[in-house]
Structure 1
Amino acid sequence: MATTSKAVLREQLLAARGRVADDVRAAEARLLGEHVDTLKAFVRGRDTVCAYVPVGTEPGSIDLLDRLLALAGRVLLPVARTGPDGAPRPLRWGDYRPGALVAGRWGLLEPPAPWLPDTALGEADLVLLPALAVDRAGVRLGRGRGFYDRSLHARRGAAPLVAVVRDAELLDALPSEPHDVPMTHALTPGAGLVAVGTP
């Protein structure tokens, strides 16, 4: 699969997600929430987790965010914006408060303003990212806009990067580019937390 272009892979993966029945998607979201306990090695009580609100067919749920908040004490969610030229800017961040999400751009749910600067990612002890796929080497395939590529430079060096994907989206190999930031783990409904990017 590593020889297939990223654009073709994105199209195939999005089509496959679209074929997943709603009850299967809900069961997978529940399983992801149950795997939060496996993240205890990274966060304990007064830590910060950066996560995301799933949109469309992305794995995850509000329940997962609530469980992360109970585990860590603080969850930051991304706020995506573009510059005047339409180019993606580094993600800003806002505190997750249950029941307080607002509609943002591109159909995303976001924390309400005021937002923190992109450097707030450096406060995170753990970062959960949406992905279309991740491979065993830690290469993450996102949607292609580059918001996370522009943002991950601000992360604290040792903070684990966890791509949240369906089990079928943990692949042997993906095409990579020099700017790709490798993931340290994948979180899937069936396998739970899986180390990637390690020899």
Structure 2
Amino acid sequence: MIPDRGVEKRALRAELRQRRRTRTTTERDADRAALTGTLQRFVEERQVESIALYLSAPDEPDVRPFLDWAHERGIRVLLPITREDGLLDWAVGDGASEREGLFGMPEVVGEVLSPLALGDVDAILAPAAAVGRDGVRMGWGRGYYDKTLGSMANRPPVYAVIFDAEYLEEVPREPHDEPVDGIITPSRIITFRS
């Protein structure tokens, strides 16, 4: 019998959502501080001047302190805006002005740039539910990042931002899933390919 990757993904996503929701305040605070430091190190080591990021939802790894830090240092940050066609537009922002997007996720308010603006950043930091050791990224099922990344001929390095426990031996993969070049967690940076 051929495994149904869609069913496997839904089950794994449900488990990961539950884990994220049951994290304690102490765990969240510790991960927020550690992740901010790891993201700062990533940017400094690679001399990043422009980066694509996202506005984290309450259960996601909290990138907002890092966003504030990047803005204070003059790093250009592009933040995603969801489109009806399944792609992402982008806007330069500091996260201070936001609204609720198509799926209730926070989105930046600003001048909308086309998806092509993503090609001008030094790195893309993408949200994820989990990443396998082979670099396969599993998102939350809407396909925005897979479509956007899959449409790029020459894309900057892409790193998924996840909690340490979401770096798994493997995740279910479907043909449309786009691999990432590495992961950033509260405790480490791992590069799969350069």
TM-score by length of 1: 0.85
SS of match in other structure, 2:103: helix
Matched, 1:194 2:190: yes
Q: TM-score by structure 2 length? A: 0.87
Inter-partner Cα distance in structure 1 for 2:155 and 2:147: 18
CA RMSD of aligned residues (A): 2.1
Separation in structure 2 between the aligned mates of residue 67 and residue 48 of structure 1, nearest angstrom: 13
Equivalence for 1:181: 178
- Is 2:120 the partner of 1:123? yes
The residue type equivalent to 2:54 in the other structure is Y
* Partners of 1:28 and 1:59 within 8 A in 2: yes
* Residue 64 of structure 2, aligned match among 62, 65, 80: 62
Measure how far apart 1:72 and its partner are: 6.4
Q: Does 1:135 align with 2:139?
A: no
Tell me the CA shift for residue 66 of structure 1: 1.9
Secondary structure at 2:184's aligned position in 1? Answer: strand
Please show how residues 58-97 of structure 1 align to structure 2 within 5 Å: 58-70=60-72, 73-83=75-85, 89-97=86-94
Indicate the residue corresponding to 2:46 in structure 1.
42
Once the two structures are TM-superposed, the CA of residue 154 in structure 1 deviates from its matched residue by 4.8
Superposition deviation, residue 22 in structure 1? 2.1
**Does 1:10 pair with 2:7?**
no
Which of structure 1's runs of 4+ aligned residues deviate more than 4 A? none
Distance of 1:28 and 1:70 partners within structure 2? 21
Contact 1:49 1:68 in 2 (8 A): no
Match of residue 162 from structure 1: 159
- Say whether the 8 Å CA contact 1:131–1:143 is kept in structure 2: yes
* Count of matched residue pairs: 188
Gaps of 5+ in 2: none
CA distance, structure 2, for counterparts of residue 175 and residue 128 of structure 1: 21
User: For the structure 1 residues 97 and 21, does the alpha-carbon distance in structure 2 shift closer, same or farther, using more than 3 Å as the test?
Assistant: same
Letter in 1 for 2:103: W
What's the counterpart of residue 31 of structure 1? 34
Shift of 1:111: 1.8
Q: What's the offset of the Cα at 1:120?
A: 1.2
Return 5+ residue gaps in structure 1 as ranges.
Answer: 84-88
How far did residue 57 of structure 1 move?
A: 0.5
